[in-house]
Structure 1
């Protein structure tokens, strides 16, 4: 709204009105506003949640200090969502298709996670919303985002092409002059790292491009579902999902800024995506909201984000990466999320197989998701991996996961230059 006010003032030649034309200025405003909202109004929301007796139901898993968390207010993801939406509505260009998609995704997943938390707290059902309904909601979002990218005329890109100067053999990056609509994305460690999904459907002949878009939509659905669930599983220790997501968000914000600037895109030899600079404003608000929420969520947590927050931030990261055509970098950047996912899948599968074969289920890890493996005291007879034998304090596990997250973010950027 402020953005449009400044646009109107600029028409009258008011000095300083053009500040809102600068992405860096608006991103800074969004970051500060979201941080302020999360810290100042977050306290009021936490007090309100306590009055409503929206307390977390804790199951005794035999972990140190676990039961002390019983009754801690949950559904704190509301703080994150509000702290994202308000700055974006104030300083963002909501007419931009990229910003509009991110706002819709935020509300969509916020409602989905909120329903899950509501059932857990108010209906005293520890399982919350049934898994099949969560999956349907995530698939629905992925389908909406994918189809919008297929049919919206505003979502285009310019392909980067290497040109070699015959005289001095100097390699320069040039872009096609026209904006094109194509199912291309970025892949790591590969020279000329644009990957076209239609290459995998070339056997379809004339229908290869249509087949490529269909494959792209399916990938979008998978990425949204996997990343959202991964963030949900990672939210098991104070500040773990919050801090990890803030690190991922910072990396994605930088990628969005570089990809929306034709000069920087050329230097990195990545595709140029016109109009996507508005995503930097959104991600600045996202980072500010998470850092502000961490003020209360750091160990010992005064509030939990619940599924209202964890499903939302995972989905936001997925949709954002898809919009800037970096979804195939997520296995590196979001490796913590996916390892948490895999640890649960491996544990359940191995338990079922060994129970069928030996009549007794056995484990690979002491406990899953993976962060609980480090928190659990060793000595479980049926676990294949016992180390570390001594339980690691929760705050140290979280800090080490953050360090790994920073290293993964650095590696992700390195993949764009080392080919």
Structure 2
């Protein structure tokens, strides 16, 4: 809504600032950070009051037993922290902004339902795997069709290669569904230690802030030989709000955590990042950029497959962070090391925009 103030710049020259994506991105990020920091204590007290606490597996690291009862579903706070700044600072006529918000809220709703069944209704498994898969597939299909109908380019970019841009045609739809639901679930699997998932989410969000701006800017897109996507630059504001809200949440989620995001937060953030990757045509780059999430997801797939086929485990415990924990790495050290890896992967990913 504040974006509309630029129409009055002839009367008040200061309002001209609201035209610029860079200015609005900065203040969307700061708005999200301040909102989460201000309302975080209230949200935590509310979750405690309604006894919405984390359940802990008995077969995991014994140090985790002390976390039982820690308030969860704090992802609601992140969603609020993203939505309000985006509605304030973004151009709401931009279809890409709404695509990411639908991905965010749609996956958040699925996560909320899963958390509700597990924590409030005391159904230990929450949503069954097929139910979650069906809901995510329907949501992903809707978003994919929406994108293709408005931006019919179904080519994909292969990192490090300029001239190789295969056109997936009709197969782009299942590919896009896989990107959205896969990223969503991968972030959810990573969310197993205090601040472990939210750190890489901040790094990836900041990376998409840059990628979105470059993709939506005709000059930079032409210089880097990226497929220009007019309007994609507005996603910088959404990515900035995600980074700001996530940074604010980390204040409370850092070790030892006062609150966990739950599925409502992890699925939502992952879905939004997947949708950003599709819009900016960096779906394959997301494999490098979100390498932490990919490694966590692959560790679960490898563990399950190995046990079913060979009746042997390849890891002490899946996901991957539990394997290192049981190997003797302390939780705080493990978390920071994962953050460092996420930052390195982000730098490598951004370099590929030029090294092609």
Question: Is the TM-score greater than 0.5?
Answer: yes
Paired position in structure 2 for 1:362? 312
3-state DSSP of counterpart to 2:284? helix
Q: 1:215 aligns with which of 168, 171, 180?
A: 171
Report how many aligned residue pairs link the two structures: 356
Establish whether residue 15 from structure 1 lines up as the match of residue 16 from structure 2: no
For residues 59 and 329 of structure 2, the distance between their equivalents in structure 1, rounded to whole angstroms, comes to: 15
TM-score (norm 2): 0.97
- Give 2:162's match in structure 1, choosing from 169, 188, 191: 191
Offset of residue 93 of structure 1: 1.2
Equivalent residue for 1:372? Answer: 322
* Between 143-152 and 316-325, the greater mean CA deviation after superposition: 143-152
For the residue of structure 1 that corresponds to 2:236, the secondary structure is helix
Farther-moved stretch of structure 1 (229-238 vs 59-68):
59-68
Residue 38 of structure 1 is matched in structure 2 by 36
**Offset at residue 8 of structure 1 (A):** 4.7
Determine if contact 1:192/1:269 at 8 Å carries over to the other structure: no
1:329 to 285, 290, 303: 285
TM alignment of 1:261-340, pairs within 5 A: 261-340=217-296
The structural deviation recorded for 1:182 is 2.1
Structure possessing the higher relative contact order (Cα contacts under 8 Å, 6 or more residues apart): 2
Give the aligned partner of residue 335 of structure 2.
Answer: 398
Q: Give structure 1 stretches of 5+ with no counterpart.
A: 156-180, 199-211, 355-360, 378-390
The residue that corresponds to 2:98 in the other structure is 100
State how far apart, in whole Å, the 2-side matches of 1:56 and 1:309 are. 14
Which deviations, in whole Å up to 9, do the C-alpha atoms of 1:173-205 show, x marking residues without a partner? xxxxxxxx4212321111335x1325xxxxxxx
DSSP 3-state at the match of 2:63: coil
* Aligned equivalents of 1:20, 1:140: Cα separation in 2: 36
> In structure 2, how many angstroms separate the alpha carbons of the residues matched to 1:92 and 1:67?
43
Is 1:411–2:345 an aligned residue pair?
no
Which structure's residues are more often helix, by fraction?
2
Decide whether the 8 Å contact of 1:80 with 1:309 is kept in 2. yes
Query: For 1:38-95, what per-residue CA distance to the aligned partner results, in whole angstroms no more than 9, with x for missing partners?
Result: 1111111111111111001112224142111011000000011000000011111111
Structure 2 gap ranges (5+) = none
> Is the CA contact (8 Å cut-off) linking 2:60 and 2:322 kept in structure 1?
no
Structure exhibiting the larger radius of gyration computed from Cα positions:
1
Query: Which residue of the partner structure matches residue 3 of structure 1?
Result: 3
Counterparts of 2:98 and 2:181, CA distance in 1: 20
CA distance in 2, matches of 1:55, 1:144: 33
Distance 2:100 2:352 in 1: 26
Superposed CA deviations along residues 193-230 of structure 1, whole A, max 9, x for unmatched, are: 5x1325xxxxxxxxxxxxx1x11111101111111111
1:182·1:196 contact (CA, 8 Å) conserved in 2? no
Aligned mates of 2:234, 2:135 — CA distance in 1? 26
Shift of 1:20: 0.9
Report Cα offsets for 1:130-179 as digits up to 9, x if no partner: 11121112112211121112212xx3xxxxxxxxxxxxxxxxxxxxxxxx
- 1:233 CA displacement: 0.4
TM-score by length of 1: 0.82
